[in-house]
Structure 1
Amino acid sequence: MSTVKISDRLTVAAQPDLSSLSSLAAQGFAAVVNNRPDGEETGQPGHAAEKAASQGAGLSYSFIPVTGATIAAADIDAFRKAVSEAKGPVYAHCRSGTRSLTLHVLAETLDGRMKPEEIEPFGQAHGFDLSGAVRWLARHAAQTPQVTGFYEPRTGSIQYVVADPKTKRCAIIDPVYAFDEKSGSTATDPADDILAFVAREGLAVDWILDTHPHADHFSAAHYLKRKTGAPTAIGAHITAVQKLWQAIYNWPELKTDGSQWDRLFAEGDRFKLGDLDCRVMFSPGHTLASVTYVIGDAAFVHDTVFMPDSGTARADFPGGSAKALWASIQAILALPDETRLFVGHDYEPGGRAAKWESTVAEQKRSNPHLAGMTEESFVALREARDRTLPMPKLILHALQVNIQGGRLPEPEANGRRYLRFPLDALEATRW
């Protein structure tokens, strides 16, 4: 096993054996970062065994699996966070150490502590070929729009700021308004993080976009409209969702014409984000109203597909359809292979760090719900899996807010706001 000390804070290494991991604390290390996906080669210890060995030795442990071809901004952010939050020196490894060092130099370059032209000489001085990091930066600089994801860990949701780098105009997609179902308390912290980023980057907000009425968190669209003055938008079929849930909530006074938003998008509608052309795809299946926003080389696919290791979204909510979901996914996969796909949720399967960016090619190649599937096999798989899933814990809380564009209920005479909560409204619910 080869190890290379990069700084007093970071050492990168090839794949260690478990006995080596157990001795790292005695060598002064405080944390292990595993950048290697499971199953790359026979005899590899694997994430679960490495985590147990590391924690058994008193080391903190992070699992940030990457391949050279699929490193994304979220991986760099996770690596940066793991190193910065460690309580001492960090031991990061992959198969050879190259991917770990690549994540380090990309973080250093994006943070302005290293120049792109310094990367390859730095790698050579430490015995590594970092040409892949240079190519990553070139691709990153050429990508339009610029996309920044904000992971909300309580609900596994990702909020996005999507910016035209030329005009500094941006859109906010799927913002979150925090809600704690145990206490009934609300907070604007996730949305305020977005506002702080927008101000810090000198951006102007042109649009506040929801991909669908969310079942697991409140939308902050209305809050952000009041803060920025930007128009809100959602798919035109929101009116069908409003009518469906109007009956569930027994809410005759609810307006079901979509007037809670400034614009309702239909299939094929176009709009501008700065100088960028944007297109709307109607993508039902998860909900009746789901849409995909295609902006430059990026598509915001909400809850149609997840990251390739997580499959696809459920289709058993009121108005959902596995068959419709399959058709929506096929339309998304017909986009160019290099199209970046940004998902609406990530639940950190297997204990890995959160991810939210893939490509059409990666989904077609690696997503087990899609690779080699037919419509018939997909529908059977999706419906069988959905029968095992409990309803989201916030579905009855969130829908009454989100079918009103993120508006909380109006205060009653005592100044407090109250949610409606129908009992036994959803059939065949699993506990």
Structure 2
Amino acid sequence: MKQVSDKLYIAPQITAADIHAAKAQGIVAIVNNRPDGEEAGQPTSSENGSVAATVGLGYTHIPVVPGQITRGQVADFQAALGNADGPVLAHCKTGTRSATLHAIGEVLDGRMAKSEVVPLGARLGVDLSGAVKWLDANEANLTGAKPDVKAFFDKRTFSVQYVVSDPATKKCAIIDPVLDFDEKSGATATINADRILDYIRSNGLQVEWILDTHPHADHFSAAHYLKEKTGTSTAIGEKVVEVQKLWKGFYNWPDFPADGSQWDKLFAEGETFKLGKIDAKVLYSPGHTLASITYVIGDAAFVHDTLFMPDSGTARCDFPGGSASRLWDSIQQILALPDETRIFVGHDYQPDGREPRWESTVAEQKAANTHISTCRTKDEFVAVREARDATLPMPKLILHALQVNMNGGRLPAPEANGKRFLKFPLDALKGAAWD
């Protein structure tokens, strides 16, 4: 055992003999931070819990997957220490996860500076750089900044568009706006975008950003139209260039500039920016597409086609460049945000005909998402996701939309007769819905 404080000791994986020894040394409770089944021969939580009960020790199991600590787990760890009437022994495989939970909690409660975390790890002989990374990644959510969020639901494409604003400065961002398109007539319109502009004017907001989460496959982006109307910078994740390189081949556009120059700003993974006075951060969230990102603005995360509402599960991964395995990793990063983080989705397909919904929390997603709460491992999730994707036809607008959206929402230039023409290849994608 290594002493962290008067109240806390940490250790690597413990056995029944270690529990007896801990009792003899004055420990009053055990906290197990290791999920069952991480390696062969590992005592289960139930087994060690029974031994602890036999010798009169309290026992709490707070399983933590490496790299996936949540605010709720930190709170549970703090509660376990606070409820014990004497020293507590916390353990995982090496003690690192237990020490990390403690360090994060100490910083959040103001008893330790972030600069003291790594030296504490050095004293204990464990690497606490993960605690610093967690604190850095969650800083925007820990400040209490709460932007106002207004959603605009498009019934034609089941899309949700957002205006996110700082109530203190009235600065706002528009996220994933829809340009109206009727595939039967070929007509375009700006009904959705103009609704957004009306809301911004009527509430005295000033647009700072027009943000895309990724190039969409089921609707046209209104980013370029809104830029012309507001003069505001457009932005997307830097991996959009990979989507452009992939799809310029589909459209046989050898001269198309696959360099992201169609946007004013390409965000890198982990990059931060401001919305008014509210801190914002970019998470790289591939899986649905190569370029998908999540915007974390204060206590709100805009995940678009990564998570849906809990009763709808997760997004498909069978588009060119998609990956169910990478989607799982992206979801875990989002679910590592504090439990109270508001999650705003980009689509709602209204299962069973219910009214459209678009807001949940990290805690609700972890507890009730139909694809997450029922899949304990990445392999289980990949199997469920890929089986589901195999039954889905391609979106009806994918070949229409990508040529517009990989170009920053710009429609094709008018030809000699003054008309604009879309171009898409025949027999380029699988997933025809013949029935």
TM-score above 0.5, yes or no: yes
Report the CA distance between 1:430 and its aligned residue: 4.0
Alignment counterpart, residue 345 of structure 1, candidates 344, 347, 351:
347
Amino acid across the alignment from 2:380: S
User: Per the alignment, in what secondary structure is the counterpart of residue 361 of structure 1?
Assistant: helix
2:272 matched residue in structure 1 = 270
RMSD of aligned residue pairs (Cα, Å)? 0.9
Quick check: 2:151–2:163 contact (8 Å CA) kept in 1? yes
| Equivalent residues, number | 290
2:164 matched residue in structure 1 = 162
1: CA distance between counterparts of 2:145 and 2:357? Answer: 18
Report the CA distance between 1:429 and its aligned residue: 3.7
2: CA distance between counterparts of 1:350 and 1:143? Answer: 35
Alignment counterpart, residue 415 of structure 2, candidates 402, 412, 415:
412
Report the CA distance between 1:428 and its aligned residue: 4.5
1:132 matched residue in structure 2 = none
Report the CA distance between 1:315 and its aligned residue: 0.2
Alignment counterpart, residue 175 of structure 1, candidates 157, 177, 186:
177
Alignment counterpart, residue 226 of structure 1, candidates 217, 223, 228:
228
Amino acid across the alignment from 1:219: S
1: CA distance between counterparts of 2:154 and 2:431? Answer: 29
Quick check: 1:279–1:295 contact (8 Å CA) kept in 2? yes
1: CA distance between counterparts of 2:172 and 2:189? Answer: 24
Alignment of 1:35-54 (within 5 A): none
User: Per the alignment, in what secondary structure is the counterpart of residue 279 of structure 2?
Assistant: strand
2:403 matched residue in structure 1 = 400
User: Per the alignment, in what secondary structure is the counterpart of residue 310 of structure 1?
Assistant: coil
Alignment counterpart, residue 316 of structure 1, candidates 315, 318, 340:
318
Alignment of 1:98-177 (within 5 A): 144-177=146-179
User: Per the alignment, in what secondary structure is the counterpart of residue 421 of structure 2?
Assistant: coil
Amino acid across the alignment from 1:393: K
Identity %: 70
Quick check: 2:394–2:430 contact (8 Å CA) kept in 1? no
1:307 matched residue in structure 2 = 309
TM-score by length of 2: 0.66
Amino acid across the alignment from 1:378: F
Quick check: 1:288–1:319 contact (8 Å CA) kept in 2? yes
Deviation per CA, 1:100-132: give whole Å up to 9, x if none.
xxxxxxxxxxxxxxxxxxxxxxxxxxxxxxxxx
Alignment of 1:8-23 (within 5 A): none
Structure 2 gaps, min length 5: 1-143
2:81 matched residue in structure 1 = none
User: Per the alignment, in what secondary structure is the counterpart of residue 326 of structure 1?
Assistant: helix
Quick check: 1:388–1:430 contact (8 Å CA) kept in 2? no
User: Per the alignment, in what secondary structure is the counterpart of residue 308 of structure 1?
Assistant: coil
Asked if 1:379 corresponds to 2:391, the answer is no
Report the CA distance between 1:180 and its aligned residue: 0.3
Quick check: 2:245–2:258 contact (8 Å CA) kept in 1? yes
Alignment counterpart, residue 426 of structure 1, candidates 420, 429, 432:
429
2:371 matched residue in structure 1 = 369
1: CA distance between counterparts of 2:145 and 2:235? Answer: 25
2: CA distance between counterparts of 1:370 and 1:224? Answer: 36
Structure 1 gaps, min length 5: 1-141
1: CA distance between counterparts of 2:396 and 2:374? Answer: 33
Asked if 1:389 corresponds to 2:389, the answer is no
Deviation per CA, 1:170-228: give whole Å up to 9, x if none.
00000000000000000000000000000000000000000000000000000000000
Quick check: 1:233–1:261 contact (8 Å CA) kept in 2? yes
Report the CA distance between 1:419 and its aligned residue: 0.3
1:34 matched residue in structure 2 = none
Amino acid across the alignment from 2:240: I
Report the CA distance between 1:143 and its aligned residue: 6.7
Amino acid across the alignment from 2:298: G
1: CA distance between counterparts of 2:374 and 2:388? Answer: 18
2: CA distance between counterparts of 1:418 and 1:372? Answer: 46
2: CA distance between counterparts of 1:232 and 1:429? Answer: 34
1: CA distance between counterparts of 2:410 and 2:299? Answer: 32
Report the CA distance between 1:372 and its aligned residue: 4.0
User: Per the alignment, in what secondary structure is the counterpart of residue 193 of structure 1?
Assistant: helix
Quick check: 2:146–2:299 contact (8 Å CA) kept in 1? yes
Quick check: 2:314–2:371 contact (8 Å CA) kept in 1? yes
Quick check: 2:150–2:163 contact (8 Å CA) kept in 1? yes
User: Per the alignment, in what secondary structure is the counterpart of residue 319 of structure 2?
Assistant: coil
1: CA distance between counterparts of 2:343 and 2:291? Answer: 19
User: Per the alignment, in what secondary structure is the counterpart of residue 366 of structure 2?
Assistant: helix
2:285 matched residue in structure 1 = 283
2:10 matched residue in structure 1 = none
Alignment counterpart, residue 186 of structure 1, candidates 179, 182, 188:
188
Q: Compare CA radii of gyration and give the structure with the larger one.
A: 2
TM-score by length of 1: 0.67
1:250 matched residue in structure 2 = 252
Alpha-carbon distance change, 143 to 352 in structure 1, aligned in 2, over 3 angstroms: farther
Quick check: 1:145–1:296 contact (8 Å CA) kept in 2? yes
